[in-house]
Amino acid sequence: MFSAARPAKESPKVLVLLLEAHLTRVSLDVALERVDASLALSVRASTFDLVVDARQMTGYDASARARFVAWNSSNKARLEHVAVLTDNVLWHMVVAAMSIASGQPMRAFAASSQATAWFAAT
């Protein structure tokens, strides 16, 4: 399951994507359509930070991971940072690998306050 991307309360430059349960390529595509719509509504020169809240995810398909990497690679110009919120230590390593594969600044954090601090520091 997923929920719509929405501007975060902390900053108008931050989009939040909530991912839940087991992530499939189909559910990710639907969720990313909502992020794409938010990006399309903004001024073209605008860039955003994206928070992917994956704390309620139980797993993901390899095709969903590959799609996420490809999507990030194609949206590097619009997204300054991608922070993935997860308590899963293994997924922190997966996020680091996805960052390398996509060329997108992407880090995993356990708390949203850590992501916000990273956005502000860079």
- Per domain, the residue ranges of the chain are 6-121
Under 8 Å between Cβ of 27 and 2: yes
Strand, helix or coil for residue 103 = coil
Tokens standing for residue 107: 């880090």
**E strand intervals along the chain:** 6-7, 14-23, 48-60, 79-85, 106-109
Q: Give the model confidence (pLDDT) of 57-86 as tens digits.
A: 999 999 999 999 999 999 999 999 999 999
CB 6 within 8 A of CB 35: no
* Confidence check: pLDDT of 36 > 80: yes
Quick: pLDDT tens for 86-116: 999 999 999 999 999 999 999 999 999 999 9
pLDDT at res. 9: 45
* CATH superfamily, with its number, for domain 6-121: STAS domain (3.30.750.24)
Cβ contacts of residue 8 below 8 Å, gap of 6+? Answer: 14, 15, 16, 51
27-47: average pLDDT: 89
pTM for the model stands at: 0.88
> Does position 44 have pLDDT exceeding 80, yes or no?
no
